[in-house]
Amino acid sequence: MHNIDDVTSGEQYRALGLSTLAFTVCFAVWTIFSIIGVQIKQDLGLSETQFGLLVATPVLTGSLSRIFLGVWTDQFGGRIMLPLQMLITAVSVWLLASVQTYAVFLMIALGLGLAGGSFIIGVAYVSRWFEAERQGTALGIFGAGNVGAAVTNFAAPFLVIAVGWEDTARIYAVALVIMAVVFYVFAKEDPVRVEQRKTGAKPISAAKQLEPLKDIQVWRFATYYFFVFGAFVAFASFLPRYYVGAYGVALTSAGVFAGMYSLPGSVFRALGGWMSDVWGARFVMYLTFIVSLVVLFVMSYPQTTYLVQGIPSADGEPRIFEFSFGIPLYGFVFLTVILGFVMSLGKAAVFKHIPVYFPNNVGAVGGLVGMIGGLGGFILPISFGILLDVFQVWSVVFMLMFVIVGISTIWMHLAIRRMERSKYPELTSETHLSDVPH
């Protein structure tokens, strides 16, 4: 682990605060299609599948870019990489306002998606400022920048109504440029880069940084992140459309309700980091998966009307009783809040491991984990659109997520049991996991 003895708490908090603010702005931009995409869908007459692809396209770039952005951050430092990434993204966001056709929308969305790569730049930068025992909490606070999705859900609908979606995009582009300048001016070079300058040491080569990707443990972390982050991005983008279609609410109300999911799904990431430091990331992951299974099971139940044949009347006329069952709007919103909360804890738990197990490869390893998680945010909205077009049942989306989380939970539990038996051969099938040293 690098030496940070000379770093003051003020420098640590400055790095953490600026990185979190920058990530919040970037994440707000990354999810902009969740709101303006609804208007674009109406303007262009898109199908559910086409809308899902539009929403998901920025996530593809934001995910794939995390590998090379993570490597470059390890080599050149976050103070250079984060402002550069924001300025390049701002160009695409500004150009978005002049697009007319669906194909060009998709092309611009690829450039806009670079905003999602800000996450791994921030992880690599922030982790270099904190000692190992505080990294879980620090990265949890940084990860709370996911609240940018809530900012978009809450604010963008009102901007769209006030100035139109085109000027909303321009406002977002200007915000990115301002944040890039603020970060570059006020952020400092991280301790590792400072030490490299003093000693003349060269950064670790890209090939060396990518070596840990051969470790199956890295890929296991990535599969967990597919749900806790990928599904979070997917739902943050999909829920406004869901509320408009399934419950018939206005776009502004849909944005507020979706924001009520995104907000706890973001701000409690800091709590998840603290819980992972205190009780262990394994406990937090079990909590996340089990609660998610319960919530998704309830959300999966479709709006249903029952026709029950009763006892015929005295004159032989059949009696038919009809009643309906479904989740009311307020109940559904409450379930999304719970789901967002536990997913927020899980996101922090996954990234608690990386700087501990791979302290010299945080960028590369975190980039892979973030990439796989982000691909969930790309694949899932498209899957949602296809399922809705095929089955024409709104809750089928949550049925899919229930199956994914169920498989992930079983896989995680079996992997942990196998790992512990390998480390402690004396374990039997009756031994409880809590009896195993952590």
**Which DSSP string do the residues of 73-110 spell out, in sequence order?**
HHHH-HHHHHHHHHHHHHHHHHHHTT--SHHHHHHHHH
Residues 6+ apart with CB under 8 A from 396: 302, 387, 388
Q: Which two tokens stand for residue 362?
A: 């945080």
Q: Torsion angle of alpha carbons 63, 68, 70, 76, nearest 10°?
A: -150
Per-residue model confidence (pLDDT) at position 254: 87
pLDDT along the chain (438 residues), means of 10: 65 90 92 83 85 84 82 84 93 88 90 88 86 76 82 86 89 95 90 72 60 72 86 85 85 86 80 83 90 93 78 77 79 92 89 72 73 81 86 87 90 80 52 38
How far, in Å, CA of 228 to CA of 382, rounded? 18
Asked if residues 332 and 249 have their Cβ atoms less than 8 Å apart, the reply is no
List domains and CATH numbers for the chain.
Answer: 9-297+331-435 (1.20.1250.20)
- The structure tokens 């490869």 sit at 361
- pLDDT tens for 58-96 read 888 888 887 788 778 877 888 899 999 999 999 999 998
Distances (CA, A) of 234 to 47, 65, 98, 138, 352: 17, 18, 26, 25, 23
Residues 318 and 309 sit within 8 Å (Cβ to Cβ): yes
Question: Tokens 């690829």 map to which residue?
Answer: 110
Decide: pTM greater than 0.75: no
